[in-house]
Every structure is written in structure tokens, then in C-alpha cells.
């Protein structure tokens, strides 16, 4: 009989084999998906998202179940899950580095951020609450009606901050007033959205404590102030000290920055608003260190985009099965859901932008950007599904809504950006 140590080594090697197989498939499929998306004038992120869905039970599991099972179900999915979340944290850090928040010193821009952020949160939430309340008896009869309505409303309200940032990078809008207003409004939108998710989840579990919720909000605000006022000057001084000899990224500096990103993610996780926001805040407080940003983009950025990001998309796709809608009535409900979600998000952001003095084309760009949901909202709908607040049918409808809202973003940007005075990059 083999020794326990030998069995442990064999199990580890077997797990490593399947993880390497999964990574080889994911990385290659992600590159192919991104290239194909660019050829049809979509962003690379859209291609990677769709490929991630196709690698799951929606297509590969349907057409080749034995291949799907061998590649993705022969070993624990935990390593892939951890790599996906790690990649998302690093992506959020890079998104924070990309943006010039100096535009927000202008009062008109601060006003636009507030109005767009609030309108693109409240309008879809109200429409989602109404849809969820009306449809719950038919689509989610197993769930408490209010809980189902609240989870649908939260899913309507979210903006996909990482994908929005990636789209802004692809269209070279990161250092423009429109781009900064959009990412800032989306950041406010998502922080409130995650706090809202915590509230809705607590209400669903019937353990809501107003004082505890208020304390969580205060802790998040305190964390932001501590990082901006306390950590930021120390980190900037350290970067300038270790980067004296040029634009390279010394190993010591890279190690320290990675540790700070991870500690920041740990802190926001402990506050209950997901570790990805810790990565984003670290990027924000270092965004004006131009030499460091150039070095990071040259040496680290490509690896994150090519390796980590497709893992996140594919991991999410493995949990999504689009084949659940099997009747005309269900597709009718799905069409209504997509229409209301788009009307609330796009319409709310558009009207708010117009109220702040933006022209029609600029407001259209803002509405299209804020309507980008992608796969971030799958976090919300997975929580709702796990708690029994939404059915498998509603889960599938919300997945389709997330994909469609992201797919239409690039065509709308190509339509309105030239009219708003922004050139379209050659790749688009």
C-alpha cells in the first residue's frame, strides 16, 4: 500500500495537471475570443466574456459533455476560483492607475458625477423592484416576493466597474472628462450597490440591524480617508525612493506594491464590500505617479490582461447555463427584463447628463457607458440564487441582460463619440 506522503504528492500532481490543462485552454480561448471581437468592432473584453460563457455548460457542456467534464470537473475548482479573484483585484488596481481624477476639481464635473451616479442607481432600482415584484409569483414562486424583487432591483442597478474601465482604456477615454465622470459615477454606484447587496441579503435572512449597517458605511468612509490621507503620502515617498534610477520597476518596489494591493483588498473584504475595491483604491491613490504607472503598464499590465482576466470570465461562464429558457413566455419575460434594465440605466444616466449641461452625443456616451454591466452583476445574482431569492430562469435572464448590455456599448460609442468630439481608435 502506498505511503500517505506518496498519495498526497500524487493528488497534488493530479490537481496541478488539471489546473494547467484548464489554464492552457482558457488563455488560448481568451486570446482567440478577444481577437475575433476586435474584428467585428467589439472590445476585446466582450470576446473574452462570450468565450468564457461558451466554455461552460451553455455550449461546451452541451455539445461535448465528456470533454467539458474532463477539463473542468475532473478536479476541484478552488484553484481556478482563487486565480480568478486574484486577477480581478489586479485588474481593478490597473484601472485605478489609469484615471486622471484632476478633472473632478472642476465643479461642473463633480456635479455630473453625483447626478449621473445617483440617477443611474435609483432609476434602474425602481424599475427592477417593480419587475421583480410583478414577476415573482410566476418566475420565482419558491421565493419570498419582496426578497426576489430586491435582488432583481440590485442586479438592475449595478455597473460593471472593471469592464467599464477596460472599455474606456480600449477607446482611449481614460484621461478625458467623459471617461473620468463615467468611472467616478460607476465607482460611487458600485460602492452603494455592494452596500445595498449587503442590506438586501440581510433583509432576506431576516437579521437586519440598522445600527450595524450604519457602522459598516462609516467604516468604509473611514477606510477611504485613511488610505488617501495616511497611506498615499507614504506610498508615494517609497515609490520615488526605490525608483530613483529610471522608469523600470525594481523587484523590491514590485513586491511592496503587490503587498499593499493585497492588504488593501483584505481590508475592504473585512469591511464587507469585496476585496476588488481595495485594489481599485490602491490604484487611485497611486495614479499620479507617472513613472511608476508607465513601468507597471509596460511590465505587468500585459500579463494581467492575457492571463488573469480570461480566467475570471471563464470561471463565471462555468457557472452559467443559458439553456434554461425553454418557452415563448419565458423569452417574453426575458425581453421585458432586458428592456426595463436598459431603460433604467441608460435613460437615467442620459437624463442626468443632459441636466448637467452635456450635449446629446455626450449624454448618449454617458448612458452607454453606465449601462455596461458585464459579469460583475453575476456576483449579485449568484448570491440571490444561492439564497433562493431568484429562480434559475431569472438567473439566466439576468445573465443575458448583462451580456447584451455590454455588447451594445461599443456600437453606441462608435456612433456618439465622434459627435462628442472624440476620435475612434484605429482598432475600432
Q: Is 224 a residue whose pLDDT tops 70? A: yes
When pLDDT is averaged across residues 115-130 and rounded to a whole number, the result is: 93
- pLDDT tens digits, residue range 6-32? 556 677 888 899 999 999 999 999 889
Q: Where are the domains of the chain?
A: 4-81, 82-420
User: What's the rounded Cα separation, in Å, for the pair 202 and 213?
Assistant: 10
- pLDDT tens digits, residue range 359-371? 999 999 999 999 9
Rounded to two decimals, the pTM is 0.73
Q: Please, what is the end-to-end C-alpha distance for the chain in angstroms?
A: 62
Q: Helix-strand-coil percent breakdown of the chain, rounded to 5? A: 80, 0, 20
Q: How many helices (H) and strands (E) does the chain have?
A: 21, 0
Helix (H, G, I), strand (E, B) or coil at 48: helix
User: What's the rounded Cα separation, in Å, for the pair 156 and 61?
Assistant: 28
Overall fold of domain 82-420: Na+/H+ antiporter like fold (1.20.1530)
User: What's the rounded Cα separation, in Å, for the pair 59 and 53?
Assistant: 8
Confidence of residue 393 (pLDDT cuts 50, 70, 90): confident
Place of cell 487611485: 284
Amino acid at each position: 500500500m502506498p505511503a500517505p506522503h506518496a498519495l498526497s504528492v500524487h493528488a497534488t500532481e493530479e490537481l496541478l495537471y488539471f489546473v494547467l490543462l484548464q489554464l492552457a485552454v482558457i488563455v488560448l480561448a481568451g486570446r482567440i475570443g478577444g481577437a475575433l471581437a476586435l474584428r467585428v468592432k467589439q472590445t476585446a473584453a466582450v470576446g473574452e466574456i462570450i468565450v468564457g460563457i461558451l466554455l461552460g455548460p451553455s455550449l461546451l457542456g452541451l455539445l461535448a459533455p465528456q470533454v467539458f467534464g474532463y477539463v473542468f470537473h475532473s478536479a476541484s475548482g478552488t484553484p481556478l476560483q482563487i486565480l480568478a479573484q486574484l486577477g480581478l483585484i489586479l485588474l481593478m488596481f490597473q484601472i485605478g492607475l489609469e484615471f486622471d481624477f484632476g478633472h473632478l476639481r472642476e465643479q461642473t464635473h463633480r456635479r455630473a458625477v453625483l447626478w449621473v451616479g445617483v440617477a443611474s442607481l435609483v432609476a434602474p432600482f425602481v424599475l427592477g423592484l417593480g419587475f421583480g415584484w410583478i414577476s415573482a409569483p410566476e418566475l420565482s414562486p419558491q421565493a419570498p416576493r419582496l426578497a426576489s424583487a430586491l435582488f432583481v432591483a440590485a442586479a438592475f442597478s449595478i455597473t460593471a466597474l472593471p469592464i467599464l474601465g477596460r472599455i474606456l482604456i480600449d477607446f482611449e477615454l481614460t484621461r478625458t472628462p467623459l471617461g473620468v465622470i463615467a468611472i467616478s459615477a460607476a465607482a460611487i454606484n458600485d460602492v452603494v450597490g455592494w452596500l445595498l447587496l449587503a442590506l438586501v441579503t440581510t433583509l432576506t435572512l431576516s437579521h437586519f440591524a440598522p445600527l450595524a449597517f450604519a457602522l459598516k458605511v462609516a467604516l468604509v468612509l473611514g477606510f477611504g480617508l485613511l488610505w488617501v490621507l495616511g497611506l498615499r503620502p507614504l506610498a508615494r515617498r517609497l515609490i520615488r525612493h526605490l525608483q530613483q534610477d529610471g522608469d523600470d520597476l525594481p523587484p523590491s518596489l514590485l513586491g511592496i506594491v503587490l503587498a499593499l494591493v493585497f492588504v488593501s483588498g483584505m481590508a475592504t473584504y473585512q469591511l464587507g464590500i469585496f476585496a476588488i475595491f481595495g485594489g481599485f483604491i490602491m490604484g487611485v491613490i497611486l495614479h499620479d505617479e507617472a513613472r511608476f504607472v508607465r513601468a507597471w503598464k509596460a511590465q505587468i499590465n500585459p500579463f494581467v490582461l492575457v492571463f488573469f482576466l480570461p480566467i475570471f470570465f471563464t470561471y463565471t461562464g462555468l457557472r452559467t447555463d443559458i439553456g434554461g429558457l425553454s418557452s415563448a413566455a419565458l423569452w417574453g419575460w426575458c425581453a421585458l427584463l432586458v428592456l426595463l434594465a436598459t431603460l433604467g440605466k441608460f435613460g437615467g444616466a442620459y437624463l442626468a447628463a443632459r441636466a448637467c449641461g452635456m450635449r446629446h452625443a455626450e449624454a448618449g456616451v454617458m448612458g452607454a457607458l453606465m449601462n455596461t454591466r458585464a459579469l460583475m452583476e453575476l456576483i449579485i445574482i449568484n448570491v440571490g440564487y444561492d439564497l433562493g431569492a431568484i429562480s434559475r430562469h431569472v438567473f439566466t435572464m439576468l445573465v443575458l441582460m448583462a451580456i447584451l448590455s455590454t455588447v451594445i456599448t461599443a456600437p453606441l460609442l462608435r456612433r456618439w463619440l465622434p459627435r462628442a468630439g472624440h476620435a475612434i481608435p484605429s482598432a475600432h
